[in-house]
């Protein structure tokens, strides 16, 4: 028996006309469009921070073996030593590898917590290019002739007061800020949308009680709570994320709730109820798309807010655990070491650039979803 299957519904994988117009609107905002690309390049580059600045080589060919020190921790015994981990910056390890193979290093030979032991002076050192070659290589065992006094050990943006490379800390710090911001934004959007959706859809008592709870919750001073918590436990990345999430999900509730309140009386929602579609499906399939525009418009601003929050906590010393690369900590060092302006300037320009890019992108997204522009 041959069954003539009727053609499946034609689902175009291309963008709907509406979304195409939104994309065109987004591109029309040149500032936002370029900001997006610059931001994406910066983000992707810093995602691969280990390949740019690291105190371990990316690939090592040693006695016929191919090793990947950037990803795998090899004991020093691999190279004839006795320590549990290998310090590839040690001259004798470098010599050992050079004698029995080769090593591919990233452009900068420092990780965010590598302390450079051959610095010319103690404390914060200015960028190497501000010094003469003699001064820069002064403390290397063989002085100017030392093979380690090379481009790889160049401090492009100087070091902080503990002798750590600022560029390395900057790249790792940028990455952790953005990742923290993204995770916080996504989690708080999910929680906020769910909470707003439930309130808006069911309305009545659920809405009334939830709204009052949120008002009380909002009036809890989040900063002080953080201070108290961080004095009890040393906040790790995830603990910090959790605490900030406790307060940041509220941001989206209002708009999502309003969208759901508005849309729940639409006739197509009543029609779905008459069809017997469950509440959860109605919320997901019929109402959520209405709230998505408001949510997406808000997201870049939540992202920049999250990054700023993390930075300010780090600045105050209540943020990520000590030693973590962070922009806030860099700013704090800049404040404490006014004689080393490269610290403060680096932190300031990086943050200013990041915030500006995010806000420009946010404005372009807002323009793209603006119904007055969409249908103009």
Partner 1 sequence: MSGPLLSVRDLSIGFGAFEAVRKVSFDIEAGETLALVGESGSGKSVTALSVLRLLPPAASLAGSIAFEGQNLVTLPEPGLRAVRGNRVGMIFQEPMSSLNPVHTVGRQIGEVLAVHQGMRREAARRRTLELLDAVGIPDPQRRLEDYPHQLSGGQRQRVMIAMALANDPKLLIADEPTTALDVTVQAQILALLKDLQRQTGMAMLFITHDLTIVRRIADRVCVMTKGEIVETGPTAKIFSAPQHAYTRHLLAAAPQGKPLAPPADAPEVVSASDMKVWFPIRRGLLRRTVGHIKAVDGVSLSVRRGETLGVVGESGSGKSSLGYALLRLIGSEGRIVVLGEAIDEKSGKALRPFRKHMQIVFQDPFGSLSPRMSVAEIVEEGLRVHRPDLNAPQRADKRDAALREVGLDPGSAGRYPHEFSGGQRQRIALARALVLEPAFLVLDEPTSALDVSIQAQIIDLLRAIQQRHGLSYLFISHDLRVVKALAHRLIVMKDGLVVETGAADAIFAAPQHDYTRQLLAAAFSETPHQLPGAPQTD
- Which structure tokens are listed for 43? 């983000």
Pick the piece of the chain touching partner 1 (CB under 8 A) from 29-37, 56-64, 224-232, 284-292: 284-292
Residue of 8, 145, 216, 232 that binds partner 1 (CB under 8 A): 8
Given a contact cutoff of 8 angstroms between Cβ atoms, the answer to whether 32 and 364 are in contact is yes
DSSP secondary structure code for residue 204 in this structure: H
Sheet holding 65-67, edge to edge: 65-67, 59-62, 101-104
For residue 307, what are its two tokens?
């990054």
Alpha helices in 317-340 (DSSP H): 327-336
| 335 part of the interface to partner 1, by CB under 8 A | no
Comparison of 221 and 276: residue with beta carbon closer to partner 1: 276
Identity of the residue, 8 or 84, whose beta carbon is nearer to partner 1 in the bound complex = 8
Closest CB to partner 1 among residues 138, 288: 288
Q: What's the closest the beta carbon of residue 290 comes to partner 1, in angstroms?
A: 8
Q: Which of 266, 280, 339, 352 binds partner 1 (CB under 8 A)?
A: 266
Residues 14-33 that bind partner 1 (CB under 8 A): 16
286 binds partner 1 (CB under 8 A): yes
Residue number with CB closer to partner 1 (121 or 211): 211
Q: From the CB of 218, what's the least distance to partner 1, in Å?
A: 24
H/E run at residue 244: helix 237-248
DSSP state letter for 117: T
For partner 1, which residue of 138, 194, 246, 277 counts as binding (CB under 8 A)? 277
Q: What is the DSSP string of 25-73?
A: HHHHSHHHHHHHHHHHHHHHHHHTHHHHB-SS-SEEEETTEEE-TTTS-
Q: Which is nearer to partner 1, 115 or 209 (CB)?
A: 209
**Shortest approach of partner 1 to residue 255 CB, angstroms?**
18
Binding flag, residue 107, partner 1 (CB under 8 A): no
Token pair in block for residue 292: 């998505």
* The one among 12, 14, 72, 216 contacting partner 1 by CB under 8 A: 12
* Near partner 1 by CB under 8 A: residue from 132, 267, 338, 375: 267
Hey, what are 221's tokens?
A: 């001073």
Residue 94 — φ and ψ, nearest 5°?
-60, -45
Q: Are strands 101-104 and 65-67 parallel, antiparallel or unpaired?
A: unpaired
DSSP letter assigned to residue 83: S
- 350 close to 327: Cβ distance less than 8 angstroms: yes
Q: Does 275 bind partner 1 (CB under 8 A)?
A: yes
Q: How far apart are CA 363 and CA 369, in angstroms?
A: 10
Q: Give the nearest distance from C-beta 276 to partner 1 in angstroms.
A: 3
CA-to-CA distance for 235 and 137, rounded, in angstroms? 39
| Nearer Cβ to partner 1 (169/286) | 286
284 makes contact with partner 1 (CB under 8 A) = no
Helix (H, G, I), strand (E, B) or coil at 173: helix
Nearer to partner 1, 187 or 277 (CB): 277
The residues near 24 (Cβ < 8 Å, ≥ 6 apart) are: none
10 binds partner 1 (CB under 8 A): yes
Quick one: 60 or 291, whose CB is closer to partner 1?
A: 291
| DSSP state letter for 265 | T
By CB under 8 A, tell whether 372 contacts partner 1.
Answer: no
Task: Give the residue among 51, 91, 89, 53 at the shortest CA–CA distance from 71.
Answer: 51
Please identify, among the stretches 6-14, 83-91, 240-248, 295-303, the one whose residues bind partner 1 according to the rule CB under 8 A. Answer: 6-14
**1 belongs to the binding site for partner 1 (CB under 8 A):** no
**Region from 10-18, 41-49, 52-60, 320-328 binding partner 1, contact rule CB under 8 A:** 10-18
Measured CA to CA, the distance from residue 262 to residue 201 in angstroms comes to: 9
* In the complex, least distance from residue 289 CB atom to partner 1, rounded to whole angstroms: 5
**Interface contacts to partner 1, rule CB under 8 A:** 3, 5-12, 16, 266-268, 270-278, 285-286, 289
């Amino acid at each position: 028996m041959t069954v003539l299957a009727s053609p499946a519904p034609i689902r175009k994988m291309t963008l709907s006309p509406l979304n195409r117009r939104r994309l065109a609107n987004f591109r029309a905002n040149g500032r936002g469009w370029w900001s997006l690309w610059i931001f994406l390049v910066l983000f992707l580059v810093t995602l691969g921070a280990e390949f740019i600045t690291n105190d371990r080589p990316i690939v090592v060919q040693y006695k016929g073996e191919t090793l990947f020190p950037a990803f795998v921790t090899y004991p020093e015994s691999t190279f004839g030593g006795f320590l549990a981990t290998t310090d590839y910056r040690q001259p004798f390890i470098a010599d050992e590898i050079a004698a029995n193979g080769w090593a591919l290093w990233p452009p900068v030979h420092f990780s965010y917590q590598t302390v450079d032991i051959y610095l010319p002076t103690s404390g914060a050192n200015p960028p190497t290019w501000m010094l003469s070659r003699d001064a820069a290589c002064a403390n290397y065992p063989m002085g100017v002739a030392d093979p380690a006094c090379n481009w790889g050990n160049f401090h492009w943006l100087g070091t902080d007061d503990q002798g750590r490379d600022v560029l390395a800390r900057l790249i790792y710090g940028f990455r952790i800020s953005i990742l923290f911001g993204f995770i916080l934004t996504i989690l708080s959007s999910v929680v906020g949308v769910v909470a707003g959706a439930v309130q808006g859809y069911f309305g009545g008592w659920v809405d009334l009680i939830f709204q009052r709870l949120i008002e009380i919750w909002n009036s809890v001073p989040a900063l002080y709570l953080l201070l108290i918590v961080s004095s009890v436990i040393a906040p790790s990345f995830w603990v910090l994320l959790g605490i900030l999430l406790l307060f940041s999900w509220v941001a989206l509730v209002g708009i999502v709730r309003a969208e759901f309140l508005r849309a729940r009386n639409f006739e197509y929602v009543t029609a779905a109820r008459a069809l017997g579609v469950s509440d959860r499906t109605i919320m997901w399939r019929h109402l959520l798309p209405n709230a998505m525009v408001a949510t997406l418009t808000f997201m870049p601003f939540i992202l920049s807010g999250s990054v700023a929050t993390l930075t300010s906590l780090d600045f105050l010393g209540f943020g990520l655990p000590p030693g973590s690369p962070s922009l806030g900590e860099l700013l704090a060092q800049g404040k404490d070491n006014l004689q080393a302006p490269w610290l403060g300037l680096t932190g300031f320009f990086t943050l200013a650039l990041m915030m500006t890019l995010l806000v420009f992108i946010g404005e372009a997204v807002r323009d793209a979803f603006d119904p007055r522009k969409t249908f103009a």
